[in-house]
Chains A and B, each alone.
Chain A
Amino acid sequence: MISTIWPLHLRVRSGARLRPAIASAPPRVQDRGNKNGAGARGQMIEMQDAAYGYGAEPLLSDLSLQLPPGSFHFLTGPSGAGKTTFLKLCYAELLPTGGNITLFGHTATGLSRDGIADIRQKIGVVHQDCKFLDHLSVSENIALPLPVTGKGGMAQESNLNELVGWVGLTARAEALPPELSGGERQRAALARAIIMDPDLILADEPTGNVDWDMSLRLLNLLIELNKLGKTVVIATHDLALIRAAKQRVQARVLRIQGGQITAAGADL
């Protein structure tokens, strides 16, 4: 299935078992505490006075919050406020320059490189710029985390096909990422994010460049996943999307502004 992860003919052959979210029975949300690797107090992610700055000036500071398992969060704020930066802190692409961040019970700054990799295997990320390998087909990109994380076992082609169908990309499965439309890219990114059946889904502007109908479809995918017990964080500045979601799930809205994070009021 994965023919060439490496463009320079560096092939990695590895059987991989597909275990997308939809293949598993919906677990009870409240059952999912420590069992799925959440921290001692049952939090997926916990921040205590965390701060981050790309340079000397802190971009974000005094971040204190908890993401409990099964919760649904929106992250909003003006462009350049630090939404992407916040999400990067959540999957340890960036480490806090101050305070403390606990990921699945592990202090982020104390993680080894392997420890970071292991935590990322439990987090599905929809990157703002998708981060595909352009020489691999859409379905190969979606299945990429499987051989990489050595989940082993026989490849279940049908599960991958089911997931590709679920995000409506069956007709485009063999296309290359640069040939996809913006909305197709974002659906493919979402499929890749959930193929490992992650406990936590971080979606960075998943509806950034799609029309309203497609936005709602993608939102519905994420709401379905949340109903399956996944913790979901969506960064967006689309307030209409947040309103639409609030009618269907219990979503908390976090607003990043001026380097601080605050719980948004009920005005949304």
Chain B
Amino acid sequence: MAFLAVFAMALSMAAGRLADRWSDALAQSSTIRISAPPAEMEAQTWAVLTVLEQTPGVESARALSDEDQQALLAPWFGPDLPLDDLPVPQLIEITETADGYDADGLRQRLAAEAPGAVLDDHDRWRRPLAEAAGRLRVLGWLALVLILGATGAMVTLAAQSALSANEQVIRVLRLVGARDSYIARAFVRRFTIRALTGAALGVIVGLLAVAILPSARDTAAILTGLSFSGAGWFWPLIIPPLAGATAFAATRIAAFRTLRSLQ
């Protein structure tokens, strides 16, 4: 259980990092591509920059210079590309504020002011991905809650069977004057210690397993990136106390309920 919990936690954290990276780093920049006859290019570029300046949510906008564009295209076409002779579109790089801009509104204004401009806001594919990663993070925590719940249910069942296996002992103890709390204590102690040590072992094994997973920070792929980073490595340490507390509560409730049902 603790082993699974470590993975759920790692999944959740990896997904969280991914979601943050995608939504912060990527979704805050977009580009506008202007395709126009060479004669109109300059005018449309100015028009677009003017529009962007007036658009709320746009932090800065920059028309890429010929050198920039050449650098972008070089990997594909080689360094000697005669840009001037080709109908290469002009690119404008937009950096958004945290709140972002209204993409549809901007598109309408661009259509009116610079018919050759096309807004490529990357959101079309990025936003669902970021949302999915965010959902994956929630799912990870949900899995953690479910694992705790399953642990509680398992402990309850185990405690109930231990209690009924000891029914005769319990009856005799009651006859010699034992309070319910005394009897429950023996069971609660046993199951809490078991859960604590079991979870500690599980966490150790889980952390080892996560540590030796092939890590590939650069590719940012979800599975290969399943790991903890920095202080995240300490989070799994809360699993044993959490498991212990769950076992404590589950056993106590089961014990008192069972004891009350015995005459």
Write the residues of chain A forming the contact surface with B, with a CB cutoff of 8 angstroms.
5-12, 91, 93, 113-114, 117-121, 123, 125, 127, 131-133, 144-145, 148-150, 192, 196
- Additional pairs, 13, CB under 8 Å, beyond known A5-B173, A149-B177, A149-B178: A7-B165, A10-B187, A114-B181, A117-B177, A117-B178, A117-B180, A118-B177, A118-B179, A119-B177, A120-B176, A133-B169, A144-B173, A150-B182
* The 9 nearest A-B residue pairs measured at CB: A121-B177, A120-B177, A145-B176, A148-B178, A117-B179, A12-B186, A10-B186, A149-B177, A114-B179
Q: Is the pair B166, A148 in contact by a Cβ cutoff of 8 Å?
A: no
A93 to B263, CA, bound (A): 8
Are A8 and B166 interface neighbours, CB within 8 A? Answer: yes
In Å, the complex CA distance between A117 and B173 comes to: 10
Q: Is the CB–CB distance between A8 and B162 below 8 Å?
A: yes
Which of A127, A133, A148 touches B177 (beta carbons < 8 Å)?
A148
| Cross-chain pairs A/B with CB under 8 angstroms, 10 sampled | A5-B186, A7-B165, A7-B166, A10-B162, A93-B175, A93-B263, A113-B260, A117-B178, A131-B172, A144-B172
Known contacts A12-B185, A93-B263, A117-B174; A7 and B169 CB within 8 A of each other: yes
Of the candidates B178, B180, B185, the one having the most CB atoms from chain A within 10 angstroms of its own CB is B178
Name the interface residues of B82-124: CB closer than 8 Å to any CB of A: none
**Closest chain B residue to A113, Cβ basis:** B180
Q: Looking at A113, A123, A132, A150, which has the most chain B CB atoms within 10 Å of its CB? A: A113
Chain B positions within 8 Å of A93 at CB level? 175, 263
B190 part of interface (Cβ distance < 8 Å):
yes
Q: Which of B's residues lie within 8 Å of A, judged by CB?
A: 162, 165-166, 168-169, 171-182, 185-187, 190, 259-260, 263
- Across the two chains, which residue of chain A brings its CB closest to B175? A131
Q: Is the interface of B mostly helix, strand, loop or mixed?
A: helix
Nearest B residue to A122 via CB reads B177
A149, B173: Cα distance in complex, Å: 9
Q: Which residue of A lies closest to B176 (CB)?
A: A145
Residues of B with C-beta under 8 A to A196: 177
Q: What's the least CB distance linking A142 to chain B, in Å?
A: 11
- Bound-state CA distance A144–B178 (Å) is 10
Q: Which residues of B contact A149 (CB under 8 A)?
A: 176-178
A18, B165: Cα distance in complex, Å? 29
Task: Give the interface SS of chain A, mostly helix, strand, loop or mixed.
Answer: loop
Q: Contact at B186–A148, with CB atoms within 8 Å?
A: no
Measured between beta carbons, the chain A residues less than 8 angstroms from B260 are 113
Residues of A within 8 A of B171 (CB): 131
Q: Which residues of A contact B177 (CB under 8 A)?
A: 117-121, 123, 145, 148-149, 196
Interfacial chain A residues near B172, Cβ < 8 Å: 131-133, 144
Q: Are B169 and A113 in contact (CB under 8 A)?
A: no
Whether B176 contacts A6 by the Cβ 8 Å rule is: no
Give the distance to chain B from A5, nearest Cβ to Cβ, in Å: 7
A121 to B175 alpha-carbon distance, docked (Å): 9
Q: Is A5's CB under 8 angstroms from B169's CB?
A: yes
What's the minimum C-beta distance from B136 to chain A, rounded to whole angstroms?
42
Q: Min CB distance, B171 to chain A, in Å? A: 8
Residue of B nearest to A120 (CB): B177
Residues of B within 8 A of A6 (CB): 166, 169, 186
Cα–Cα distance between A120 and B176 once the two chains are bound (Å): 6
Contacts of B190 in A (CB 8 A): 9-10
Contact between chains at B162 and A127 (CB < 8 Å)? no
B175 touches A127 (CB 8 A): yes
When distances are taken between beta carbons in the complex, the residues of chain B under 8 Å from A120 are: 174-177
Of all chain B residues, which has the CB nearest A150? B182
- Closest Cβ–Cβ distance, residue B97 to chain A (whole Å): 63
Docked complex Cα distance between A12 and B179 (Å):
14
User: Complex: how many Å from CA A131 to CA B178?
Assistant: 14
CA gap between A192 and B173 in the complex, in Å: 12
Bound Cα distance A9, B194 (Å): 13
Q: Specify which chain B residues have a CB less than 8 angstroms from the CB of A5 in the assembled complex.
A: 169, 173, 186
What residue of chain A has the Cβ atom nearest to residue B168's Cβ? A133
Q: Would you give the shortest CB distance from A50 to chain B, in whole angstroms?
A: 19
| Residue in B closest to A123 when the chains form the complex, CB atoms | B177
B247 nearest CB across to chain A (Å): 14
Alpha-carbon distance A149/B166, docked complex (angstroms): 19
**Cβ of A132: which chain B residues have Cβ within 8 Å of it?**
172
Considering the chains assembled together, what is the distance between the CA atoms of A197 and B117 in angstroms? 99
Contacts of A91 in B (CB 8 A): 175
